[in-house]
Amino acid sequence: MNWLRDFIERVTNWAEDLNEGQRRIFLAGLLLVGAAFMGFLIYWVFFRDFFGEEQVSINGELVNVSQLPDIIPVTADIDLVNVNEAVGLPDIDVVAKGGNTLSQVIRYGESKNVVLSGDGKTLQYYDPETGKFYRIDENGNVIELSDKVFQGVEEATWSNDGDKAVIELEDGFNIVYDFDIEEQYTLHEDMADFDFSPNDNQISFKFEPGNPDDNFLGISSYDGSGAVAIEHLGNNGDQVNPQWSPSGQSIGTFEEYVDGINKSVLPLGFKGENFKDFIVEGRGFDYEWSPSGRQMLYSTYTPANNYNPTIHIVNAYGDEIGSGNHSLNLNTSVDKCTFTASGNSVYCSVPTEQPIGLGINPDNANDIPHDIYKVDIESGFIEKIATPVDQQLGSSLKGATSIIVSKDESILYYTEADTGNIRRILLK
């Protein structure tokens, strides 16, 4: 400790040699240094833990800024997944699992008379803007079926293989166009309500020239030749729906009310067969044949169901006509449903809301979001397949119609009722 004693003596001697002014300056400086030292001691003992070092939260843990690792640049080898979860948006499934499912637009703009092509996976449609018919695949690639322009198409009825179409024009002319051989055939202008036979060699039609005595339901070759009258219509043309049965048993149905609400439906044969009729409950009857032609999917509406359409199925072949008639417990119309290729199941788009009177005013459903359901015909089991969701519009997508399922059930297509856009949902 001699060094400390010597240091104190030297400081004392140095201070004694100072004059009065110098001593005052020295003491003032000593007080300032002492005050600073005491302030540091007080901070260190009482306040250091309160202020601490600057910290941030990473994955739920507090980390000092001074301890953060260097930032590593993102490389192309890093997979960025589940972006929706990261930003707090609801999950969207790419493949349908029963919840929110990505619904992609593969064709923008009005698309009319959309059907599945003969290959069972692509679509065919008419574009009113260009006046042409196209084929479009599941990725949105578009191919002209023909470079021929058909302006003012009101309706196009496709053959089963998609190679031909009966085209009804707004000027009153009717033609058949064969897209395979680029050949056109002119039909009589008084023909209407066309359908193709199961083998596509013939067409059915209503012939109504204006005189009730000359009105009839008939068939002809697809080019219009060899026309034959099957049923006299008279003034009852509105009661006949000429949908050719895939089984080849009937050319359509005759319908009439048995009371103020319920209808009798009679399948019409080609040779005056005395088929059984059956009763459907409700108004607004419309139907679609199963692929085999042995069953009929139909919709009606009743006061008991708030005048909203309900889907039913009934046997419609041979001695079983009218049997097994029951509801599938889906509140939608048959134009929003389709059979699978096997005929074992039905896919339908169903409005998420059921305001009163959708059967009377079906266009009101166009502004309502729809869910997609699948029904097993044999067991009646109902399964929700998807809520169509758009990446920009969310789940507010509006009415879906013209439901189409690819032959292998890997893709479901539908048309937006309000825009005409074609969308797809992946099922597998």
Domains in the chain, please, with CATH?
A: 95-426 (2.130.10.10)
pTM more than 0.75? yes
Helices (H) then strands (E): counts for the chain: 4, 31
- Return the C-alpha torsion angle 24, 26, 31, 32, nearest 10: 120
Rounded distance, CA 239 to CA 218, Å? 15
Rounded distance, CA 101 to CA 386, Å? 6
How many Cα atoms within 13 Å fall on the side-chain side of residue 311? 27
Average pLDDT, the chain: 85
Mean pLDDT within 106-129: 95
Q: Residue 333 above 50 pLDDT?
A: yes
Q: Residue 198 above 50 pLDDT?
A: yes
Rounded distance, CA 295 to CA 283, Å? 20
Q: pLDDT value at position 391?
A: 77
Q: Residue 45 above 50 pLDDT?
A: no
Q: pLDDT value at position 56?
A: 39
pLDDT digits (tens, 9 = 90+) for 140-182: 899 999 999 999 999 999 999 999 999 999 999 999 999 999 9
Q: pLDDT value at position 87?
A: 35
| pLDDT band, residue 1 (cuts 50/70/90) | low
Q: pLDDT value at position 82?
A: 37
Q: pLDDT value at position 210?
A: 86
Q: pLDDT value at position 69?
A: 37
Rounded distance, CA 236 to CA 46, Å? 101
Q: Please report the beta strands in 51-197, taking only residues with DSSP state E, as ranges in sequence order.
A: 55-58, 61-64, 100-102, 104-107, 112-116, 123-127, 132-136, 142-144, 153-158, 164-169, 174-178, 183-187, 191-196
Phi, psi of 4 (to 5 degrees): -70, -40
Residue 54 burial (CB < 10 Å; 0-12/13-18/19+)?
exposed
Beta bridge partners of 166: 157, 176
Rounded distance, CA 325 to CA 263, Å? 14
**CA separation, residue 120 to residues 46, 80, 155, 243 (Å):** 80, 35, 22, 21
Q: pLDDT higher for 391 or 3?
A: 391
Mean pLDDT within 118-133: 96
Mean pLDDT within 414-418: 91
Single-letter amino acid, residue 374: K
Q: Residue 28 above 70 pLDDT?
A: no
| String of DSSP letters for 177-229 | EETTTTEEEEE-TTEEEEEE-TTSSEEEEEE--S-GGG-EEEEEETTS-S-EE
Cβ count near 286 (within 10 Å): 14
Q: pLDDT value at position 81?
A: 33
pLDDT digits (tens, 9 = 90+) for 238-292: 999 999 999 999 999 999 999 989 999 999 999 888 899 999 999 999 999 999 9
Beta-carbon contacts of residue 407 (< 8 Å; ≥ 6 apart): 116, 120, 121, 341
From the list 339, 337, 341, 365, the residue with the least C-alpha distance to 349 is 337
Rounded distance, CA 164 to CA 184, Å? 10
Alpha carbon 282 to its chain's center? 28
| String of DSSP letters for 263-312 | EEEEEE-SS---PPPEEE-SEEEEEEE-TTSSEEEEEEE-GGGTT-EEEE
Sheet containing 228-232: which strands, arranged edge to edge? 191-196, 202-207, 216-221, 228-232
Q: pLDDT value at position 418?
A: 85
| String of DSSP letters for 345-388 | EEEEEEES---TTTTT-GGGGGGS-EEEEEEETTT--EEEEEEE
